Structure formats: C-alpha cells, structure tokens
Amino acid sequence: MTTESVSLPGPHPEDQALREEIARLRASLTALLLQKDDLLLIQCRRIETAYLRRFGALELKLHESWCACLRAKKKAKLIRAVQNRRERADLRQIEAALDDELSVYRQRLEAQFQRVAGVMEKHEGPGLSSRGVKELRTLYRQAVKALHPDLHPGTEEANARKLQQAMRAYRAGDLNTLRVLCDSLDPETEGTADGLEALRQEAARLRAGIQAFGRELETIKASYPYNMNVYLEDEAQGKAHERELSEKLQALRERTARYEAAIETMLAAQGGEGGNG
C-alpha cells in the first residue's frame, strides 16, 4: 500500500506583498499622526505664545480700534437716517441700540483681551531635559500606535479616553502620566484581518488616511498660529509686520476721528447732543 503526499496550496502571491505594504502604510500614518499632534499640541501653542508676547498688545489695540471705528460708523449712519426723516436724534436710544447690535464684538474683544493677558502672565515651567523630551515623544508614539482609531478602527471607548489622556499629558509635558498610561497598555498588535479582500481594503483605507492627513498638515501650516512663525524666525519680517499693524492702527484711528467729526456736525445742526426726541 502506497501513500501519496498531498501538497497544500501556498499563500497567494499578493498576500505577503499586501501585508508588507500595510506595515509600511501603518508606519507612515503613525508618523503623520504624531506630526499633526506635535504641530497642534506643541509647536502651534509655542508659536502663538511667542507671537502674542511680541505682537499681542498691538493686535489688541488694533482690535479695540476696529470696534470703536465700527461703532462710530454705525452711530453716524443711525443719526443721519433719523435726521433724514426730519426727526431729532435721541442719543440714548441710539447708544442702547448700538450696545445691543455690537454686543458680539464686545464679547470677542473681551475674549481677545483675556487671551493676550493670559499669555503675558503665563510663567513657563522648568520643562524637561532633552532626555525627558525624547522619552516623552517615544511614550506618546507608543500610545498613539496602540490607541489611535485611524490605526485601529472600531476601538473601544476606553481607548479613546486613554488617548485623550495621553494627548493632555503630551501637551503638558507630563512624563509620569505618560509612563503610567503606557505601562497599562496591552502589547501592540497589528490587528490586520486575514483574507485578500480584507487586506486590500485595509491597504486602501490606510492610503486614504495618509492622503487626508497630508492635506490636513498643509492646512495647519498655512493657518494661524503656525503661519505667524515667519514673523518670529525672521527679524526683518517681524519688524515689517509690526509696522504694518501700526499703520493699520493709525488708519483706523483716523477713520474713527472722521466719523466722530461727522457726528458732531450732525448733532450741532440739530442744536445739541440729542435728547429724548
């Protein structure tokens, strides 16, 4: 009696290629995720703090002057409209209407003031050593690879909470919290599904994610506060920006003065500063 050996079919040629591509794509996506978080949580915060410390007071004056100019313009328009109806302008009524209409701008001005004041009063902590910064980034990378939903679709809510905790610790330079959190993570697994079609879909999802995050990084770099970094790194451009802000401030103050002069002229024509009508 003879026995014949049965040869089992080997893996599909595309299988190993897809698995290797997925590993490369995961590494690329992880790098983009970390770059995005570094931009948003570290670099943009540093740039905004430095920008507001140098230009914040001038920016605040500019915003205040813009609000004052807008109010004077609207006030002049309201007085003119009343007088065109051959009625006497009631300044108390007009000021109340302006207070109501411009309340949102007043709130924005207050928010801007609080933001600038907060930066001016902020005291930097002792910070981490270069070795500590390296460990912080290594641990954060470990947390992202284990928890981020773009790398692990369908992750549990607990993972999302842990990732938020890791982001807060990374932003604050809280090395101890990141150490404890990473110690609690399960060993890293790739979690790639079996089957050619599943592998193809996973590779396609990762490619799309890489493209999307690439576009997102470009948008962040082109937006405030990152795009203000040029005024911090290049002193000539910084001084030019300061001159531009000062010129805008002066122009706004001059425009406001013209509106106020027009208001005085209109009030003088009706014989006073307005009353109850």
Report how far apart, in Å, the C-alpha atoms of 175 and of each of 169, 233, 250 are: 7, 29, 47
Cα angle for residues 239, 242, 244 (degrees, 5° grid): 110
Q: Which residues contact 173 (CB under 8 A, 6 or more apart)?
A: 125, 127, 128, 132, 133, 136
Per-residue pLDDT, 129 = 86
Per-residue pLDDT, 14 = 82
pTM: 0.75
Secondary structure (3-state) at 137: helix
Per-residue pLDDT of the chain (277 residues; tens, 9 = 90+): 455 555 555 566 788 899 999 999 999 999 999 999 999 999 998 999 999 999 998 999 999 999 999 999 999 999 999 989 988 888 899 999 999 988 988 888 888 878 777 766 654 545 678 888 899 999 999 999 988 888 888 767 778 888 999 999 998 888 888 898 888 886 655 555 568 888 999 999 999 999 999 999 999 999 999 999 999 999 999 999 999 999 999 999 999 999 999 999 999 888 755 554 4
Closest CA to 42 of 234, 215, 174: 174
Per-residue pLDDT, 98 = 93
